[in-house]
Chains A and B, each alone.
Chain A
Amino acid sequence: MKPFIVGAAALILSLFCYSFNTDLILNRHANADLRAVCEEASVAGTMFIYKDQYGNGKVVFDQKESIKAIEAEIKSMLKLNDDFTPTSESYWQDQVSYKAHFYDDSNTAYPYLFTDSDTGFTALIKSPTVIVTINAGQGKYALQFLKNGPVNIRSAAHTWDER
């Protein structure tokens, strides 16, 4: 009877460890993906500038169009509904939120040191830049005591460079 009890205990412990490890691997991958989404979204944000301002030698982002592109990129890559809640295909489970910061020739004295209060992400801004921070909420953990863990939040910046 003793080997059976010890064996059953070891089995349960292994199940716990396996569950944690699997969830951790998935969460790490999703977190790395989130960084890629931030990068893509910030690139999308730099694609739209006012042509008339550009004609005057200034780069000024068209924030209305940039935000449309950023939102579309986030929804597409994270598989979200229009209200930023995850679809059934998405890894995420909470409503996703994002912040977009626009630094351009209309509102910035270069160089400017940006520090994200949510992530601690810093970027020295020397030319027009869009920074996107995405908060995707908590990762999926099966174990009850890990369900209230930290949120997954990442930032990325993209700078508008002349070619």
Chain B
Amino acid sequence: MKNFITGAAILILLLIFPLQNVQDLINQNRINKFSNIVYVSTQTARTDGRFTQRNIGRLKSDLLSAFPDLSEADIYIDVTTAPKYRTDEFDNREAIYYDIGIPVRKVLAAPRFFGLSDSENQYISRRTGFVLSEVPMP
């Protein structure tokens, strides 16, 4: 009986690892999908010379449809909406900046086992950077 109890306890401990590996892959897929959506939006911003309201709206709707667990309030978007132009010399004031984030809600597969609440078991995945405008200076 003692052996059975020890074996069962070890088995439960060992189960955490494959579960966590699967959870890591799920999270990574989520981040990859998020990166792809942001990439499309930033390339659109490059040709538009800024993040237009239409582009931001499409970004939000793409994120909401790709991640059904998200609500609009969960999406963090801080982007350049003022028009930027292509210049002859590099000027970082004429760059189109973006900082876009979504929550990754389940970091650990078994948070209760480690005494973590749902709010502690998440982080924000962010994509930040800039693209240069392709719109010629008027």
Contact = CB atoms under 8 A, between A and B. Distances in A.
B129 interface: yes
Given A25-B25, A73-B129, A11 B89 contact: no
Q: Per DSSP, are chain B's interface residues mostly helix, strand or loop, or mixed?
A: helix
Given A11-B14, A44-B132, A69 B24 contact: no
Contacts of A14: 14, 17
B122 interface: no
B92 A21 contact: no
Interface stretch (A2-10, A102-110, A120-128, A131-139): A2-10
A72 interface: yes
Contact of B32 (A17, A29, A76): A29
Interface in B23-41: 24-25, 28, 31-32, 35, 39
Contacts of A43: 46, 131-132
A4 B9 CA distance: 10
A22 interface: yes
Contacts of B3: 2-3
- Kindly list the 5 A-B residue pairs having the minimum CB-CB distance in the complex, ordered from nearest: A7-B10, A68-B90, A14-B17, A69-B90, A3-B6
25 contacts: A4-B10, A7-B7, A7-B13, A10-B14, A11-B10, A11-B13, A14-B14, A15-B17, A18-B17, A18-B20, A18-B21, A21-B21, A22-B21, A33-B35, A36-B35, A36-B39, A47-B132, A47-B134, A48-B89, A62-B89, A65-B89, A66-B90, A72-B95, A76-B130, A77-B129
Interface of A: 2-4, 6-8, 10-11, 14-15, 17-18, 21-22, 25, 29, 32-33, 36, 40, 43-44, 47-48, 51, 62, 65-66, 68-69, 72-73, 76-77
